[in-house]
A and B are shown apart, each in its own frame.
Chain A
Amino acid sequence: MISVPTNHALILAAVIFLIGAVGVTARRNLIFVLMSVEIMLNATAIAFIAAASKWHQPDGQVFVIFILVTASAEVAVGLTLFLRIYHGWKNLDADEVSLMKG
């Protein structure tokens, strides 16, 4: 049985991260921006898992658990903020809501 080369797993992570980064910069709807951030977080998780599998250490998987925690906290707060933004501005355009007032 031949294991997956770490290079290939890292290339996969880089490709998915790049797609997510393009999504963050190109999309203006805030829901899509949040989805692209999720894609980027998943790509970094693949890189951590690949490193854990290369060195046979559990540390990489521990960090993926922390990524999961961060992502869930981020999504909860982000989506609540989007609900508030939608209530105030009636849309979710990132350019429309670029002006803030306290």
Chain B
Amino acid sequence: MNWYFYASGIVAVIAALMVVTRANAMHALLYLVTLFLAIASVFWTLGAPFLAALQIIIYAGAIMVLFVFVIMMLNIPNEAQRERTWLRSLIWVLPAFLVLILLIQFVVAVGTKGAPAGAVIASKAVGRSLFTEYVIGVELASLLLLAALIAAFHFGVLPERLETSDD
């Protein structure tokens, strides 16, 4: 099972390098998703299947959607033309290839009944530790999320719109 860790790590390093060196933000985002998926499979190999699932749901799901929304909001002109050039420019081939490597590794690893290398720490143990020893951390995390929600809501409203809504 060691080879699975090293292959995912190489994919992660390549994806991280591509994120940092891209000029176009949308192209960098494609590699960022690849990086998150590669890191999820690294988690899986290191015996943390629960965290691998969380990584995919939260990072590759929720946070990426936020990034995509904001980048799309920042440059809207000429939608159809841009879509056409993106489909033609084949920029998606390398990220798709890297994700395909990850998928093939995962299928082979699961198909050959290869459990993650090392001991798996069950999600039950994580949950028990989270809600006994670290319960104050959970409370603080919920406060942080509430504060972030209020801050995002406050900054999201433009000032001129705020003034008109007062009366």
Contact = CB atoms under 8 A, between A and B. Distances in A.
Interface string B29-44: 1001001100100110
A2 to B, nearest CB: 6
Q: Is the interface of A mostly helix, strand, loop or mixed?
A: helix
B141 A69 contact: yes
B54 to A, nearest CB: 6
Contacts of B86: none
Interface in B115-133: 115, 117-119, 121, 125-126, 128-130, 133
Interface string A72-102: 1111110111111011000010000000000
Contacts of B36: 42
B148 A77 contact: yes
Contacts of A75: 63, 66-67
Interface stretch (B5-13, B77-85, B88-96): B5-13
Contacts of A16: 12-13, 16, 39
Taking residues whose C-beta sits less than 8 angstroms from the other chain, chain B's interface range is: 35 or more
A59 B9 CA distance: 23
A1 B114 CA distance: 9
A15 B11 CA distance: 12
29 contacts: A2-B117, A8-B9, A16-B16, A16-B39, A22-B20, A23-B19, A32-B25, A32-B28, A35-B32, A36-B20, A38-B63, A42-B35, A46-B39, A53-B46, A58-B121, A58-B125, A62-B134, A64-B48, A64-B51, A64-B54, A65-B54, A69-B141, A72-B58, A76-B149, A80-B152, A80-B156, A82-B70, A82-B74, A83-B73
Interface of B: 1-2, 5-6, 9, 12-13, 16-17, 19-20, 22, 25, 28-29, 32, 35-36, 39, 42-43, 45-48, 50-51, 54-55, 58-59, 62-63, 66-67, 70-71, 73-74, 115, 117-119, 121, 125-126, 128-130, 133-134, 137, 141, 144-145, 147-149, 151-152, 155-156, 158
